[in-house]
A and B are shown apart, each in its own frame.
Chain A
Amino acid sequence: VRFRKMMGTVPIDLPPFERFYADHRDVVLGHLLRKLGRNGAEDAFQETFLRALHAYPYRRAHPTGELPELVAEDGRAAYLELDHLASTLPPTERAAVVLRYGYDLAYDDIAVALGSSAEAARQAASSGVRRLRKGTVR
């Protein structure tokens, strides 16, 4: 219960459970052995970590931090959809957004296409996305 409370209130980014488990299993088992003896300790060990896993945070809503998936309702490819959506952006931002999120190119490749640096390509894509999110185009 204390563990669950801690999970609920402290906004820390926990490591993958594998690491949490690997870091704590020996200490927890030692503690349980001292407290319960060999008979009870192994069952309690499994119970303890299953509870911890149960209380552990799970997948976030937009796991990759990328744009939500674009669904082409009329069956057209999503990159065409995106091209249309981005058509009101300034040319560089539009190209960067379409190449990044429509064609899934890496920023290095986009940089080549735009004749800029990878960092500039990344900035163009993210400012394009910000603009689209805000709806400040048109």
Chain B
Amino acid sequence: MTVSADLDRRFRDAAATAGLLDIGFDVIDSPIGPLLVAASDRGLARISFSATFDPEETIESLARAFGPRILRSSRTIDPARRQLDEYFDGRREGFELDVDLRGVPEFTRRVLNELARVPYGRTTTYAQLAVSAGAPRAARAVGAVMNRNRIPIVLPCHRVVGTNGSLTGYAGGLDVKERLLRLEGALL
């Protein structure tokens, strides 16, 4: 007996509404491909690019970090979906979303807090970000933090480039980084 799409959706909505989930996630469409977006009751917990996410693997990793009560639930990520849609349409420059950085080490958190201040349409460098995070000699560590940013786009690691202006790297692929910067008018 196969569960109908309607019954399935009703259960998922009910589970989210009852506040029983550690994490709700869904896959959303975007101009840079499907994105897996996950959120807890504290805020956005993960955004994964299609090129790198294996849904099973992502769900397992979310379970390890946030707990096993994980369910696909479009309701949980509705605000994030709406704001991301607006961002990709060029109608939104900043996100009004809480992020859940539980389990993130203090240094990483400091760097991500500084990263969140880099304005739309601007770029900074790993070295500059290290300075503003109060660790001027830790440019490489800042690079490592960017590399493992769990909430790309909203925490805009695409705005961080090499000192010589090269794009260096991006979890979603360099073409995606370039595309995001172009969308924001940071590249001509």
Binding site for B on A (CB under 8 A): 14-19, 21, 25-27, 29-30, 33, 42, 45-46, 49-50, 53-54, 56-60, 62-67, 69-72, 77-79, 101-106, 109
Contact = CB atoms under 8 A, between A and B. Distances in A.
Given A18-B70, A42-B7, A53 B106 contact: no
B141 A103 contact: yes
Interface of B: 1-3, 7-8, 10-11, 14-15, 18, 20-22, 56, 59-60, 62-72, 102-103, 105-108, 110, 133-135, 138, 140-141, 144-145, 148
B63 A71 contact: no
Nearest to A48: B11
A70 B20 contact: no
B67 A46 contact: no
Given A103-B107, A104-B108, A105-B141, A63 B65 contact: yes
Highest count of chain A CB atoms <10 Å: which of B69, B103, B133: B69
A11 to B, nearest CB: 14
Contacts of B133: 77
B161 to A, nearest CB: 20
A42 B1 CA distance: 12
B129 to A, nearest CB: 14
Contacts of B60: 16
Highest count of chain A CB atoms <10 Å: which of B67, B108, B135: B67
Contacts of A104: 105, 107-108, 141, 144-145, 148
B144 A109 contact: yes
Given A16-B59, A106-B144, A53 B15 contact: yes
Nearest to A69: B106
